[in-house]
Amino acid sequence: MTLTLGVLISGRGSNLEAVLGAIKSGEVDARVAVVVSNNPAAPGLSIACDYGAEAVGIDPNGYPNRSDYEAAVVERLNAHQVEWIVLAGYMKLVGKTLLHAFPNRMINIHPSLLPAFKGLDAQKQALDAGVKESGCTVHIVTLKMDDGPILGQVSVPVLPGDTVETLSQRILVEEHRLLPRVIQGLNSPPPQLSPSGEIEGPASLPTDRGGRTTR
């Protein structure tokens, strides 16, 4: 069954483009019905238009509070009857209004091996900590930042002499591979969550380059 997706972005939209490209090539059985950005000038909105998806900028500064802003986002997503929400470089914390509209149906990609290095500047956090391995994670979104059940991870080495820029680029390559695979896995069958938020049932999870299941 073809999934209907809504994608939230804030900037350049490289992960959005990876998903749209995977859909176009037949790698992912889904369609992006609408792309919403909290930044009306986000370059990713042009990418959405190039692939035929509706692109909408909704500026939170035009609303009195986060709840009203998110209600406007939910209204636009519901107008397209989306089934899953993908946060692809969405640089805002998600609040209760948006989460309650799509409970356990929202995924995010983060540039670290969660639970390590949550929040902003994850690549710098990894370098400052002196770890030898970093990577990216796709997880279910909850009210706690970067804390939901993990659906897939891919690791990358941290090399001698790495900078934030070089490590970020190496991780981004894997983000572009991982996110489409996780989206495709939502179809076969979708993950089921227990009341405690743990993944139940035979969810199809991606593997890292060593072939291990990365729950």
Q: Is 193 helix (H, G, I), strand (E, B) or coil?
A: strand
Nearest to 112 by CA among 138, 86, 89: 138
39/200 Cα distance (integer angstroms): 36
**CB contact at 8 A, 190 and 1:** no
22, HSE (Cβ side, Cα atoms, 13 Å): 21
Q: Is there a cis peptide before residue 115, judged by omega within 30 degrees of 0?
A: yes
**Catalytic residue (one of 80, 100, 110, 139):** 110
Burial (0-12, 13-18, 19+ Cβ within 10 Å), 100: exposed
Nearest to 199 by CA among 143, 148, 161, 128: 148
* Residue 80 annotated in active site: no
Backbone angles phi, psi at 135, to 5 degrees: 160, -150
Q: Is 211 helix (H, G, I), strand (E, B) or coil?
A: coil
Q: Is 203 helix (H, G, I), strand (E, B) or coil?
A: coil
Q: Which residues are catalytic?
A: 110
